[in-house]
Amino acid sequence: MIAPTRQHIFPDTIEALTGVRFFLALGVVFFHYQLFWVLPADAAPLLNRARLGVDIFFILSGFILTHVYLTGDTTPSYWRFISARFARIYPAHFIILIGVLALTLGAGLVGVRIDHANFSTFDFLTSLFLVHAWFPTQHMANWNGPSWSLSAEWFVYLAFPAFAWIAMRWREKPLLIIGLAIAAFAALDFVYQTLFGSILTEAQENLGILLVVPEFIYGIGLYFSGQKINLNRLQASIFAFGMTVILLTAMHFHTDDRLVVGIAGPFVLSLGLLAKSGQRSFLSHKWIQFGGEASFALYLVHMPILMVWRNVIQKWFELEKTYRMGWPEVAILLTLTLIAAGLIHIWFEQPSRLWLRGLFSRKPASMKLPDTAPLGDSKG
């Protein structure tokens, strides 16, 4: 099938959004690190809120998948879309999950005690098939906690025709799409609080799909809004800098999670407009771009490495499970994690993605999205 004609005015690769993915993933890494390091939890409020980087990823996913798939007069085949997304997200998830399985099964051989109640067969299977954020649950599956967001994203991919319908129907009225996202978020937040007693941004493995839906729609509306906005390089730079300061300030001063998510939308838009204006920044540096491309592997692998590291250190030095990591230990752990993520990206994620896309391209692409109808990435 011939790809739809591109009519958008954003550059094909939005470098600022690729680069920021690295810092969003790094923020999630530090959020988990700060639960175990020597400073008290309230000593770094910005890092304590860095978990909301996942929400920004959901918004960014809606923005980028609109950019890649929904800017022409027609939409791509459903097979083309879903096979590309599977090839994009599943290889790294699979290899890391299998790695955690091997570590769990082999822990006893090196004298590390594992509570197998936290690593059940059922949780493994739901993680394997990426459905562990689709249903109510009272606990986190410990096979790889961060993968709950991948499960939520997979739900969006499977339901993409519905989102594509909204996008194509109201693309000329982006504020209506944004309004729909806000209304859906408010309604789902009310339902979630009623059922579980916590706000929607805390919906992770416990029905995390409710969180991703309005945030993904928010990203769609922001993209079409950005098509209607033209800023010169100075204006775009000021907008991007201002939104970055506002977002970080809101996170630092314990602003309500839901308001932070709202602010994250203009932040993502500002980076898109920065690229649209032709203004480059440090986010366009080749190493930051590589970090952005490898951010998916970083996001998925950091918790298994943290788990193994703490178990090994605890056994070797006969420490309590509650021991706190010092700064040299954090630095070494982070270095090893960054190297591992880079190697997984280069040696496994990229080759597997290309192989799967080649394999899927041999299949018929007859299932088409309706004409009236991605932790997102900047290239699809």
Mean pLDDT to the nearest integer, 193-209: 95
| Of residues 43 and 234, more confidently modeled | 234
Q: What's residue 212's pLDDT?
A: 98
Q: What's residue 43's pLDDT?
A: 76
- The answer on pLDDT for 42 being more than 80 is no
Q: What's residue 5's pLDDT?
A: 39
Q: What's residue 368's pLDDT?
A: 41
**Band of residue 65 on the pLDDT scale cut at 50, 70, 90:** very high
For the purposes of burial, counting CB atoms within 10 Å of the CB of 112, is it exposed (0-12), middle (13-18) or buried (19 or more)?
middle
Q: What angle do CA 279, 283, 284 make, to 5 degrees?
A: 65
Q: What's residue 161's pLDDT?
A: 96
Mean pLDDT to the nearest integer, 358-378: 54
User: What's the first-to-final CA gap in the chain, in angstroms?
Assistant: 17
Encoding tokens for residue 208? 């995390």
Residue 95: CA count within 13 A, CB half-sphere:
19
Encoding tokens for residue 113? 């005690």
**Band of residue 113 on the pLDDT scale cut at 50, 70, 90:** confident
| Of residues 33 and 374, more confidently modeled | 33
- Specify whether the CB–CB gap between 63 and 376 falls below 8 A: yes
User: Residue 227 CA to chain centroid, in angstroms?
Assistant: 23
Encoding tokens for residue 199? 């706000």
260-294 pLDDT per residue, tens: 999 999 999 999 999 999 999 999 999 999 999 99
**Band of residue 375 on the pLDDT scale cut at 50, 70, 90:** low
- The answer on pLDDT for 310 being more than 50 is yes
- The answer on pLDDT for 374 being more than 70 is no
Mean pLDDT to the nearest integer, 7-26: 90
Q: What's residue 6's pLDDT?
A: 43
**Band of residue 105 on the pLDDT scale cut at 50, 70, 90:** confident
> Dmax over Cα atoms in the chain, in whole Å?
64
> Could you count the other beta carbons within 10 Å of the beta carbon of residue 78?
19
Q: Where are the chain's structural domains? A: 15-38+45-360
Can you say whether the dihedral through the CA atoms of 231, 234, 238, 244 is positive or negative? positive
Task: List, in sequence order, every beta strand (DSSP E) within the chain.
Answer: none
- Specify whether the CB–CB gap between 10 and 65 falls below 8 A: no
Q: What's residue 196's pLDDT?
A: 95
Q: What's residue 366's pLDDT?
A: 44
145-192 pLDDT per residue, tens: 899 999 999 999 999 999 999 999 999 999 999 999 999 999 999 999
Among 36-40, 167-171, 237-241, the minimum mean pLDDT is found in 36-40
Mean pLDDT to the nearest integer, 71-92: 92
